Amino acid sequence: MTTKIIELGPHQLALEEPMYFRVQLEGDRVADLDVLPGQVHRGMEHLVMRRNLYQNITLLERLCSLCSNSHPSTFCAAVEDVAGIAIPERAEYLRAVADEIKRIASHLFCCAVQANAIGEVPLFRRIMEIREIMQRAKEAIYGNRMDLAANVIGGVRYDLTPEAASYLAQAMEQMKKPLDQLYLQFGNNPVLMARMAWVGVLPREAAVECAVVGPVARACGIDYDVRKKSPYGAYDRLDFKVALQTTGDVRARNLVRLAEARQSVSLIEQCLAQLPAGPLCADTLPEIPAGEAIAKSEAPRGELMYYLRTDGSDFPVRLKWRVPSYMNWDALKLMLKGEPVANIPLIVNSIDPCIACTDR
């Protein structure tokens, strides 16, 4: 059998982001794989230390646009922990609303990109059209379709007026049927089954070994969701089940995502129903003492961790984070081993890789 090494770039992989792979082939099958990182390295760890805590809210939202709300909300949670601030209850709910809105849009984008990767262009377009309901809702409520600017230290800086709340409730109603249909389609449609079932399998033991997170882990039957394991914000008052699958293949990952998107609709509805009255922010300019804290959240791609150290000034001394895609990278090698070259774009996209987060 001939061994060959090829390099694949963003355009061949149908990626939105510049990521390059060096793939070792045996015949037409993948034997090994190297990720060539760094294209999106913007020096974030350096930049966050040259910005004060307020500026970092905006900077961190631009670490990655697909999970853009998870970054500032987790960062603010870390600052609030250091300062001993309990954010108002209304703010807890409003943070959850923002996070879940982003989750639906992010999961749908991932499914759409995969449909495109296997040449199912009409399905790609349909998912993107469904996602537009979320995009419109984001713009209507937050004024931007990607970066919500919802968080501040001590709470949130947007409110849901009765008008906006009923608009959002309507949007949620519109999402239900399409999401249910997509779930059935990704689960049972023969064409999608042929391309996605038993493709890119990650066995459960390997998943545990690689410590994968998010939908990639839950697709292997690993019951881990930060919202349940260590509830933060309003999540201990919201009712949902961790979405699980067992087969660990591309199909299972997408079913987890679609089930979660549907659940997010219900979470948003619960938030709207329970939304308590009260202030949006604890204190506009709280004093941030010296200290350190770790904050975690369940971003669309999985567990996101922030470590923050402060020295009493309003510049962070150290800010470090572990992003979900970083944990899922290594597993890619195992998923791709022995797969035909033609499956590479699909499998790579099935872990919903975020290079902006990982290269930072």
Partner 1 sequence: MAIQEQETAAEPVRLFRINTGSCNGCDVELAVTSAVAEFDVEQLGCRYTESAREADVLLVTGPLTVKARDEVLRLYAETPRDRLTVAVGVCPVSGGVFRDSYAVDGPLDRHLPVDVNVTGCPPRPQALLEGIRTALEIRKARREGVEPIHEPGDRKPSHADNFPARGRLSFDAAACVDCRMCRHVCAAGAIRFEAGKQGVRLTLWHNSCVFCGLCSHYCPTGALSVTGDWRLDHRAADAFRQVDRGEVLYEPCAGCGEAIIPAAPQLLHAAFRRPNPEIEKLKNLCPACRQQMSIGVPRR
Residues of this chain that bind ligand SF4 (CB under 6 A): 58, 62, 65
The verdict on 136 binding partner 1 (CB under 8 A) reads: yes
| 281 secondary structure, DSSP code | B
Chain residue whose CB lies nearest ligand SF4:
62
Binding partner 1 (rule: CB under 8 A), the pick from 13, 85, 134, 149 is 149
**How many residues bind partner 1, per CB under 8 A?**
58
The verdict on 128 binding partner 1 (CB under 8 A) reads: yes
Partner from ligand SF4, partner 1, none contacting 198, C-beta within 5 to 8 A by type: none
- Least distance in angstroms from the C-beta of 256 to ligand SF4: 27
The verdict on 39 binding partner 1 (CB under 8 A) reads: yes
The burial class, CB within 10 Å (0-12 / 13-18 / 19+), for 155 is buried
> CA Rg, the chain, in Å?
20
Binding partner 1 (rule: CB under 8 A), the pick from 64, 238, 250, 351 is 64
Q: List, in order, residues 6 or more apart from 305 with CB less than 8 Å away.
A: 74, 294, 295, 296, 321, 322
Burial 210-247 (b: 16+ CB within 10 A, else e): bebbbbbbbbbebebbbbeeeebbbbeebebebbbbeb
Q: List, in order, residues 6 or more apart from 303 with CB less than 8 Å away.
A: 213, 214, 224, 226, 296, 297, 322, 324, 327
Looking at beta carbons only, is 144 or 189 nearer to partner 1?
144
Looking at beta carbons only, is 252 or 323 nearer to partner 1?
323
Partner from ligand SF4, partner 1, none contacting 282, C-beta within 5 to 8 A by type: none
**SS3 category, 354:** coil
Residues near partner 1 (CB under 8 A) are 10-11, 16-18, 38-43, 46-47, 50-52, 54-59, 61-66, 68, 109, 112-113, 124-125, 128-129, 132, 135-136, 139-147, 149, 152, 157, 164, 167, 284, 354-356, 359
